[in-house]
Amino acid sequence: MMITFGDYTKTDFKNGLFTNYMTWLNYAGSGTHPIGWEYRRKSEWSLFQTGYFGYDLKHGTGHGMDEYYSGGNGSQSDFLAVAKSCHDYLKNNNFYYVQGNSIPYPNGTSYTDCSAYVTWVLYEYGYTELKGPQKSTTWYMDKSAMEKKGWTVKPATQAKAGDIVVNDYHMEIYAGDGKFYNAGSTTAMREEISNSGTGYLGNFTYAITVTPPK
C-alpha cells in the first residue's frame, strides 16, 4: 500500500486526543524518551485517523512508512527515522566536527564525527551494548564481525534506503534517492540531509543492512 501526499496531510497532529495523550512519552520519569517513540506514536495516530501507518522521516512529509512496509523493509524505515532524529539533534544543537567521543548523547559535549554519529544511531535503534567509546570505521569495515551480528554486508553500490555505507575512513547512512545522513563535517551537520546523488555510493566499500535488535 502506497500512501499519497493527500492521504498523509489528513492526519491532524493538533487534535487534543493526540497532543494531550499520545505525546506522553516520559521515559522512566526522566522527562525524556527514547528516540523513535515519537515517530511510532505519530504513525499510530496517522493509522487511527487515515487508515495509513505513516510518519516517514526519510521525506519529512507526504509519504508514509507503508512505502517501505510494502516491500518488506519496515525495519530500515524505523532505522531511518532514528537516523534523522539523531541528525536533527546534532543540527539543532550546533554540533561541530571533532574526532572521537563516547555515546549516547547528550553527554555534556557538542562535537561528534561520522562513526560516532552512526554508532549513536545504532544505540538509539536498540543496540545499547554500543554505549561507551564510539566504534570506528575500522570496526564497521570488518565484514565477518558485521555478519556475526546478523547484518548483511554487500557492495556499497547496492545500498538501499536505511543501509549504512562505509569505507576505511568515512561512513554515512543512506536515505535513498541519492540522499545521505552525514556527520563527516560541521557543514554536513548543519544540513538537513546531504543530497550527494546516487553516484556518491561509489565512494564507499560496503553497504550494511542492520537488522532490528533481538
Q: What is the 3-state secondary structure (H, E, C) of 115-156?
A: HHHHHHHHHHHCCHHHCEECCCHHHHCCHHHHHHCCCEEEEH
Q: What is the pLDDT of residues 66-85, one digit of tens each?
A: 333 333 334 566 888 889 98
The answer to whether residue 60 is domain-embedded is yes
The answer to whether residue 119 is domain-embedded is no
The answer to whether residue 59 is domain-embedded is yes
pTM: 0.68
Strand 132-133 to 102-103 pairing: antiparallel
Query: Which residue range forms the structural domain that includes residue 24?
Result: 1-72
The answer to whether residue 9 is domain-embedded is yes
Domain count, the chain: 1
Q: Residue 62 has what pLDDT? A: 39
Q: Residue 40 has what pLDDT? A: 65
The answer to whether residue 57 is domain-embedded is yes
